[in-house]
């Protein structure tokens, strides 16, 4: 697939990609708050989780499908330009994620991975929040959202 943007347009677009306070993160925080969960945003834990619920010893990562290589998601397709660069970049991101998750587990934290596509998809939004809320109250140590 060829890029429909000029290199200058693509550069401008990519420079606007935000690393925090994305719309999926904000939506999830609002829904968790509405369901009675209180959380922290700033944390010095490995991987800098997006949301930390200390009371439940839970960390939540809201992962972008492209940046964290969400398997099977259309948004995780690599660009056709600079393929080697992007392949290495995404591979290093996923390796870093694995290391951070292993360290968080070692420290006794329960981990939730919420994929961007599950929050942006109108049909799965409510179900994602409901299943996440149920998981927080359970004793399970790991959950990952997925589109059915």
The band of 113, judged by pLDDT with boundaries at 50, 70 and 90, is: very high
DSSP string covering 9-43, please? HHHHHHHT--SSS-HHHHHHHHHHHHTT---BS--
Report yes or no: 97 and 111 within 8 Å, Cβ to Cβ.
no
The band of 17, judged by pLDDT with boundaries at 50, 70 and 90, is: low
- For residue 113, give the DSSP letter: E
**Least confident residue range of 17-21, 31-35, 44-48, 55-59:** 17-21
Report yes or no: 61 and 111 within 8 Å, Cβ to Cβ.
yes
Q: Is the pTM of this model over 0.75?
A: yes
Q: Does residue 115 or residue 23 have the better pLDDT? A: 115
Task: Give me the CATH topology for the region 19-144.
Answer: Endonuclease; Chain A (3.40.960)
Report yes or no: 99 and 48 within 8 Å, Cβ to Cβ.
no
Evaluate if residue 148 carries a pLDDT over 60. Answer: no
- % of the chain with per-residue pLDDT over 70: 90
Which helix or strand (DSSP H or E) is residue 112 part of?
A: strand 110-115
Helix (H, G, I), strand (E, B) or coil at 62: strand
The residues, any chain, with a CB within 8 Å of residue 80's CB and separated by 6 or more, are: 1, 2, 3
Evaluate if residue 18 carries a pLDDT over 70. Answer: no
Evaluate if residue 10 carries a pLDDT over 70. Answer: no
């Amino acid at each position: 697939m060829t890029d429909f943007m000029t290199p200058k347009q693509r550069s401008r677009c990519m420079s606007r990609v935000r690393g925090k306070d994305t719309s999926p993160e904000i939506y999830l925080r609002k829904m968790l708050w509405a369901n009675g969960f209180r959380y922290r945003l700033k944390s010095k834990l490995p991987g800098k989780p997006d949301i930390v619920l200390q009371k439940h010893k839970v960390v939540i990562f809201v992962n972008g499908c492209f940046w964290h290589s969400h398997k099977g998601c259309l948004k995780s397709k690599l660009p056709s330009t600079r393929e080697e660069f992007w392949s290495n970049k995404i591979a290093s991101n996923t390796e870093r994620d694995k290391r951070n998750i292993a360290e968080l587990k070692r420290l006794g934290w329960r981990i939730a991975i919420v994929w961007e596509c599950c929050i942006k998809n109108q049909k799965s939004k409510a179900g994602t929040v409901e299943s996440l809320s149920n998981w927080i109250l359970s004793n399970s140590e790991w959950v990952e959202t997925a589109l059915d």
